[in-house]
Amino acid sequence: MAKVREPISEFLRDKVILLTGGTGSFGRHFTKVLLDRFDFKALRIFSRDELKQFEMRAQLSNTDRIRFLIGDVRDPGRLSRAMEGVDVVVHAAAMKQVPACEYNPFEAVKTNILGAQHVIDASIDHQVRRVIALSTDKAVSPANLYGATKHCAEKIFVQGNSYAGGRATRFSCVRYGNVLGSRGSVVPLFLKQRQSGVLTVTDESMTRFWLTLEQAVQFVLGRMTQMYGGEIFVPRLPSMKITDLAKAIAPECAIECVGIRPGEKLHESMIAEDESRHTLEYEDLFTIMPEYAEWGRQNGRDGKPLRDGFCYRSDTNDWWMSVEELRVMLGCQVGEGDCGTHSVQDGAYASNDSLRPAVVG
Ligand SMILES: NC(=O)c1ccc[n+]([C@@H]2O[C@H](COP(=O)([O-])OP(=O)(O)OC[C@H]3O[C@@H](n4cnc5c(N)ncnc54)[C@H](OP(=O)(O)O)[C@@H]3O)[C@@H](O)[C@H]2O)c1
């Protein structure tokens, strides 16, 4: 297991946390987990759309420690104001739909790259102690602009530690695969298509890394007490075939192949071969260490180097989810017609977090 510096419950006590993109799939579940399970001083939700904030507020039972801030990560002044008195930042705000990023490339760059720079600048100016940015396997050898912008965001977050100079602000990233049931993911699409009797997949051989929202949130929380700055943390995750996901959700349906989409990969990578040379392996995760760590590398002495030529890909992974395990992960009662219909979108579905190995901190 990767070493944890202090229990997360102690770390969070009395902390003020800023969560950009707090009304998204990750943000809503992160907020719920914090409210249900942890003591903390305040959580600031930072996002643009007032309706999403209104709806989120209405769903929460207790909002005493939650502050809803309207703001855009493209606006450095607003971010700076929001960052006053903050101890920890989780940066989840992003444009993440591949076609939208391709069609509106300047907008994707502004939100995902310039927005990341603004988060870094404001965090340094306000001496925020720990900043974690969410990234994706699509940032590895990117095949589309979404992945390319997240690749840049990772680079500038890692190097943000150099900009901090003598200040205590430290930046790290977490990089993971597809989140089951997040907004715009294939699960809500399959649930919708289920009624028509036909599920569409782009290619039958396609594979992906998958995790639940619960696992994503736990992974991020765990890294808060582990990070020293400059790491990209990658959880060990299972792979699954897209056709198995279709079978798990709607075994009675036919599967129609509609062809791979522009910018789509058949298989995803979470660690590229060239990154594996500076990556350390643990039982539950990998840590990609910074290559230019002028701010002083303090961690990683307990990890194991990877073998030459290692790359972590969804098709060559040694851990696969069966259709049955997928059903458990989705909380599906297949055949009874209630395959997570009420809750998959808000991430409140059952998840089997005992699946090995734990990706929790
Ligand atoms: N979902 C996945 O499968 C997955 C996998 C790997 C990594 N990730 C990463 O995880 C993060 C969160 O993903 P998610 O699934 O929670 O996304 P999501 O559901 O689409 O939520 C995105 C959030 O960002 C906010 N946002 C968008 N543009 C913004 C801007 N310019 N300024 C401020 N807020 C902005 C949105 O609210 P407003 O529209 O109201 O501003 C929303 O709260 C993203 O960085 C994504 O790249 C996701």
Measured CA to CA, the distance from residue 21 to residue 71 in angstroms comes to 10
In this prediction, the residues of the chain whose per-residue pLDDT falls under 70 are: 1-5, 297-301, 332-361
Indicate if ligand 1 lies below 6 Å from the C-beta of 104: no
Indicate if ligand 1 lies below 6 Å from the C-beta of 47: yes
**Residue in this structure with the two tokens 């051989």, named with its chain if needed:** 205
**Residue in this structure with the two tokens 């790290």, named with its chain if needed:** 172
Residue 223: predicted pLDDT: 97
Three-state DSSP state, 196: helix
Residue 4: predicted pLDDT: 63
Pocket test for ligand 1, best of 69, 119, 134 (most atoms within 8 A of CB): 134
Measured CA to CA, the distance from residue 195 to residue 352 in angstroms comes to 26
DSSP assignment string, 89-112: EEE------HHHHHHSHHHHIIII
42, 232 Cβ separation under 8 angstroms? no
The number of C-alpha atoms within 13 Å of 230 and in the hemisphere containing its C-beta is 20
pLDDT tens digit sequence for 61-91:
899 999 999 999 999 999 999 999 999 999 9
Could you tell me which of 221, 234, 231 has the C-alpha nearest to residue 43?
Answer: 221
Indicate if ligand 1 lies below 6 Å from the C-beta of 23: yes
Q: Which residues contact 176 (CB under 8 A, 6 or more apart)?
A: 135, 136, 137, 209, 211, 216, 219, 234, 235, 237, 270
Choose, from 138, 150, 241, 247, the residue flagged as catalytic: 138
Catalytic status, residue 150: no
The number of C-alpha atoms within 13 Å of 112 and in the hemisphere containing its C-beta is 29
Residue owning the nearest CA to atom 34 of ligand 1: 47
Pocket test for ligand 1, best of 182, 185, 209 (most atoms within 8 A of CB): 182
Indicate if ligand 1 lies below 6 Å from the C-beta of 32: no
The tokens for 60 are 């929460």
Three-state DSSP state, 199: strand
Q: Which residues contact 243 (CB under 8 A, 6 or more apart)?
A: 201, 204, 206, 255
**CATH code of the domain occupying 8-177+210-237+269-313:** 3.40.50.720
Residue 293: predicted pLDDT: 85
216, 273 Cβ separation under 8 angstroms? no
Task: Report pTM.
Answer: 0.92
* Other CB atoms within 10 A of residue 299 CB: 18
Indicate if ligand 1 lies below 6 Å from the C-beta of 179: yes
